[in-house]
Amino acid sequence: MKIIRKKGVIKNLLNLPAPVKKKLFGLRDFEGAYITATLVGKKKKVLNVGCLWGRENFFLTSLGKEVINLDLGKQKVPNLVIGDISKRTPFKDNEFDAIVMGEIIEHVFEDVRALEEIRRILKDDGCLVLTVPYFDDNPSYHVRMHSKRTIKRLLENCGFRVQEEVTRGGLISLSKLFVLPSLILKYLNKPLRVRYLMFLSELDYILGNKKPFLFKFSKSYGGYFLCTKGKNKDFVGVNTKSFIKRPNSLKD
């Protein structure tokens, strides 16, 4: 497992504040942070867009990353910048090695503008790690509903290439089954508890790379995307080619 091998990571996670550990050490949140961190890889300076209670912030800083958080309002996380990713942010061009956007894009009406801003402040050799639920328009704060295909098309339109795609919806769907062993390990062996959560998360990461059909039936169905900069795909051209007939093809 990539993250387990990093020296001091388990110790750092166990030294997090108790309220953070209470949330982070549930399988759903732990897996989200773990897979996101796996996709971020060795990138050092990270912008975390939409920090919630700080899940990605605390996990990534435990790995030794330099994390800056961007959110619409005040949050109890360090290095917080108040701002809107769909507007001009105070960051410089090509400032970040990686940008994390977890479960945010479906909340944004101006999603193209947001991805254009991300592209501006991301280094040319940087990466965007984006996660999104599929076919979920129930919450009032979801203003877009995506499938695997539509989110990839949106990313391509905005100048990103998808390098890796991990489907979500495996063991995370059965998270209640893993609560009792986690709680037992909490009192018996705390480092082993973290290794247990890492093992389950790594297993879901492996399964998600295989894109199994049964994941579609999960309430947690969605995707993780690792993206790099590329050329904008010409979807105007795609539509023109698909729907505008050539004059010599028209019948009398």
**Residue 118 in domain:** yes
Total number of domains in the chain: 1
Length of the chain: 252
**Residue 4 in domain:** no
| Phi-psi category of residue 102: left, alpha or beta, with phi > 0 → left and psi -120 to 50 → alpha | beta
**Residue 2 in domain:** no
Q: Which domain, by its residues, includes 136?
A: 9-249
Q: What is the distance, to the nearest Å, from the Cα of residue 28 to the centroid of all Cα atoms in its chain? A: 13
Say what the pLDDT of residue 4 is.
Answer: 55
How do the pLDDT tens digits run along the chain, 252 residues long? 566 556 689 999 999 999 999 999 999 999 999 999 999 999 999 999 998 899 999 999 999 999 999 999 998 899 999 999 999 999 999 999 999 999 999 999 999 999 999 999 999 999 999 999 999 998 999 999 999 999 999 999 999 999 999 999 999 999 999 999 999 999 999 999 999 999 999 999 999 999 788 999 999 999 999 999 999 888 888 888 888 876 565 555
CATH number for the domain harbouring residue 61: 3.40.50.150
Instruction: Identify the residue whose tokens are 């330099």.
Output: 66
